[in-house]
């Protein structure tokens, strides 16, 4: 089945530094990918929709200059958390649509970001 | 997408069937019922989906009431590895890519 690979699975960074998270579709092309954030004991919240070859669409309240999204190819989307602060510590998950029907959505395994 | 209501938590004995309910009283005729689950610290995993007929696959069964206002996900023989948060999502089967909107889900704990 379709696989979305997300890397790294865990990262610890110092406050003020930037962190890049990669999301790759391994055996299919994904023109659209989604980035979610999940705080402890909460549900997934959509941050942005990443479109290949165009600008990402951000949800209300998500700072586009802080969470940089690049979707330069049909198999790779990246999320860069710039000038990270402890409140950015969270579980980040990407998702891609794999088919026009049925389940259609495959998720990465997530990235646990801890900012110290 | 129609709103869904799920109990926050449920327990189930290992080896027994786990029945997870979902209410979606405002569902419209072209909206499907999807179920995903999220094991701790992992990405969500698709389980099953259906429109109005009952569905079964290798993971679970989905029972949708005749009026489609509620559904039940059945894990026939729950194992400890089925401990996860289960999300019921109602949405149209769109030709374009739209995000999935997750509610709070049901934390299923399978007890030994």
Per-residue pLDDT of chain A (116 residues; tens, 9 = 90+): 788 999 999 999 999 999 999 999 998 888 889 999 999 999 999 999 998 888 999 999 999 999 999 998 999 999 999 999 999 999 999 999 875 555 578 999 999 999 99
CB proximity under 8 Å: A 66-85 to B: none
Distance between CA atoms of residues A30 and B109, nearest Å: 34
Closest Cβ opposite residue B42 in set A31, A32, A110: A110
Chain A residues within 8 A of B95 when measuring between CB atoms? 100
Contact state of A95 with B100 under an 8 Å Cβ cutoff: yes
Give the tens place of pLDDT for each residue, A79-95.
999 999 999 999 999 99
Q: What pLDDT, on the 0 to 100 scale, is given for residue A54?
A: 87
> Which DSSP state fits B101?
-
Nearest to B95 among A6, A100, A109 (CB): A100
Q: Where are the alpha helices (DSSP H) in chain B?
A: none
Q: B82 in helix, strand or coil?
A: helix
Q: Which of B43, B103, B104 has the CB atom closest to A93's CB atom? A: B43
Q: Is A103 within 8 Å of B93 when comparing Cβ atoms? A: no
Give backbone dihedrals phi and psi of B81, rounded to 5 degrees, phi first. Answer: -75, -10
pLDDT digits (tens, 9 = 90+) for B73-109: 999 999 999 999 999 999 887 666 678 889 999 999 9
Contact B42 A109 (CB under 8 A): yes
Which chain B residues are within 8 Å of A107, Cβ to Cβ?
43-45
Cβ of A103 and B46 within 8 Å? yes
Return the sign of the alpha-carbon dihedral for residues B51, B54, B55, B60.
positive
Residues in B 92-111 with any Cβ partner in A closer than 8 A: 93, 95, 97, 99-105
């Amino acid at each position: 089945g379709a696989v979305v690979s997300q890397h790294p699975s865990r990262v610890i960074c110092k406050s003020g530094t930037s962190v890049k998270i990669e999301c790759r579709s391994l055996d299919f092309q994904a023109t659209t990918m989604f980035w979610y954030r999940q705080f402890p004991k909460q549900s997934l919240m959509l941050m942005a929709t990443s479109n290949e070859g165009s600008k990402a669409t951000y949800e209300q309240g998500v700072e586009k200059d802080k969470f940089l999204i690049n979707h330069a190819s049909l198999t790779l989307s990246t999320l860069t958390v710039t000038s990270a602060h402890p409140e950015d510590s969270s579980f980040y998950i990407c998702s891609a649509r794999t088919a026009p029907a049925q389940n259609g959505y495959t998720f990465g395994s997530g990235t646990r970001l801890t900012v110290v | 997408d129609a709103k869904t209501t799920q109990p926050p938590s449920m327990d189930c004995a290992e080896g027994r069937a786990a029945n997870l309910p979902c209410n979606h009283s405002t569902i419209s005729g072209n909206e499907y019922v999807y179920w995903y689950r999220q094991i701790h610290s992992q990405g969500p995993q698709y389980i099953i989906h259906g429109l109005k007929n009952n569905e079964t696959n290798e993971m679970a069964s989905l029972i949708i009431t005749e009026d489609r206002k509620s559904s039940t996900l059945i894990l026939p023989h729950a194992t400890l590895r089925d401990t996860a948060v289960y999300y019921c999502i109602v949405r149209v089967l769109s030709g374009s890519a739209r995000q999935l909107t997750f509610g709070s889900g049901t934390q299923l704990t399978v007890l030994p």
